[in-house]
């Protein structure tokens, strides 16, 4: 389903599609949690519908196959572990050159396009430079800075954003208190909240926020370590909450700029190190971070 805040973007793509003007390479830019995959998938289903009306009818053979996620003319590419390899991109060219099973279009969606390796990006250029009729490639990425300029210049780009009032209604509809202080950090990615709600993770997020706000953060080592080991995604969320706290302390003049910078730096390098260094001693690193945050 297309979220309310993406309806206008969706309609403009539908109009282009209906007028046979949809670009063969479409790049949707937006935060994780903005709903870009839902949008991409709906456009793909519209393109594949046998009515050719650029609107999935929901009843034809193609629509039924899409609903059961078995349409042979639709391909979804996701990072294998952390990257999208050149072999995965070659599979796209092979997919595009063979004829469509249902006479119409063929569509590929690439999730997390920033995970394309350099050689995979180069291989993808060929597909973008020599478009085949009735073949559509939809790339999803967080931000354009992480993509090679050569890819960017060959795609039709669409920046997806969230209108905060619409996001608030949506979040309230999930049964989450929109006045809870931690919620404001997620107004740009409401779908992330919906996912957490589904996975019963809201109380964990609330406890991460509560810990970030504590003055004796050092005492939370054991609890944080347990959560970070459970799910590394919690690290970024905690870092985001703590950065928010540092900012408000700086603005409230309870933290001077030098200590603000030192603490922010410690936070960011903790998060980066975790992503870059395999086999990191998380307990030790966390201990060092919490010491810096408490005593700097």
In the shown chain, the binding pattern of residues 1 to 40 toward Zn ion, with x for contact by CB under 5 A and - for none, equals: ----------------------------------------
> If binding means CB under 5 A, how many residues of this protein chain bind Zn ion?
4
DSSP state of 231: -
60 is an interface residue for Zn ion by CB under 5 A: yes
Please report whether residue 282 would count as binding Zn ion according to CB under 5 A: no
Contact flag: residue 76 with Zn ion (CB under 5 A): no
Report residue 293 as tokens: 């945050």
Q: What are phi and psi of 110, to 5 degrees?
A: -110, 115
* Nearest residue to 235 via CA among 192, 172, 291, 286: 286
Report the Cα 60 to chain-centroid distance in Å: 31
Q: By the 8 A CB rule, do 157 and 29 touch?
A: yes
Nearer to Zn ion, 57 or 172 (CB): 57
Binds Zn ion by CB under 5 A, chosen from 22, 39, 49, 137 = 49
Question: Taking the complex as a whole, how short is the minimal distance between the CB of residue 22 and Zn ion, in angstroms?
Answer: 17
Cα–Cα distance list, 41 to 56, 103, 111, 209 (Å): 11, 19, 11, 33
Q: In whole angstroms, what is the distance from residue 43 CA to residue 13 CA?
A: 8
Kindly state whether residue 251 participates in binding Zn ion, applying the rule CB under 5 A: no
**Nearest by Cα to 49 from 39, 28, 38, 64:** 64
DSSP 72-133: TTEEEE--BTTBB-HHHHHHHHHHHHSPPTTSS-EEEEESSGGGB-HHHHHHHHHHHHSPPT
255 lies in the site for Zn ion, by CB under 5 A: no
Nearer to Zn ion, 66 or 88 (CB): 66
| CB 69 to Zn ion: min, Å | 15
Closest separation in Å from C-beta 46 to Zn ion: 9
Closest to Zn ion by CB, 10 or 209:
10
How near is the Cβ of 103 to Zn ion at its closest, in Å?
A: 13
Contact window for Zn ion (CB under 5 A) among 60-68, 77-85, 250-258, 285-293: 60-68
Give the shortest CB-70-to-Zn ion separation in angstroms: 15
CA distance 61 to 51: 10
Choose, by CB under 5 A, the member of 11, 12, 57, 210 that binds Zn ion: 57
Q: Does residue 108 touch Zn ion according to CB under 5 A? A: no
Yes or no: say if 29 and 158 are a contact pair by the CB < 8 Å rule: yes
For Zn ion, which stretch binds (CB under 5 A), given 52-60, 82-90, 117-125, 133-141?
52-60
What residues line the site for Zn ion (CB under 5 A)?
49, 57, 60, 63
């Amino acid at each position: 389903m297309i979220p309310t805040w993406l309806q206008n973007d969706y309609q403009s793509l539908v109009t282009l599609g209906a007028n046979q003007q949809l670009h063969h390479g479409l790049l949707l830019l937006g935060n994780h949690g903005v709903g870009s995959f839902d949008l991409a998938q709906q456009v793909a289903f519209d393109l594949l519908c046998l009515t050719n009306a650029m609107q999935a009818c929901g009843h034809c053979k193609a629509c039924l196959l899409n609903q059961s996620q078995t349409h042979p003319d639709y391909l979804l590419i996701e990072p294998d572990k952390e990257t999208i390899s050149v072999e995965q991109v070659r599979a796209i060219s092979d997919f595009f050159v063979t004829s469509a099973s249902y006479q119409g279009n063929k569509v590929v969606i690439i999730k997390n396009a920033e995970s394309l390796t350099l050689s995979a990006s180069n291989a993808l250029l060929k597909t973008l430079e020599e478009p085949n009729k009735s073949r559509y490639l939809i790339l999803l990425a967080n931000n354009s800075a992480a993509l090679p300029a050569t890819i960017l210049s060959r795609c039709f780009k669409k920046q997806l954003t969230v209108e905060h009032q619409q996001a608030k209604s949506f979040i309230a509809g999930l049964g989450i208190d929109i006045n809870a202080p931690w919620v404001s950090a997620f107004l740009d990615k409401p779908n992330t909240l919906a996912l957490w709600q589904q996975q019963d993770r809201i109380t964990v997020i609330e406890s991460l926020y509560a810990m970030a706000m504590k003055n004796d953060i050092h005492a939370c080592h054991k609890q944080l370590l347990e959560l970070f080991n459970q799910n590394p995604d919690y690290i970024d969320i905690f870092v985001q909450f703590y950065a928010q706290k540092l900012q408000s302390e700086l603005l409230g003049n309870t933290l001077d700029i030098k200590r603000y910078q030192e603490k922010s730096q410690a936070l960011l390098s903790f998060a980066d190190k975790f992503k870059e260094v395999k086999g990191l001693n998380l307990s030790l690193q966390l201990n060092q971070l919490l010491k810096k945050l408490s005593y700097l």
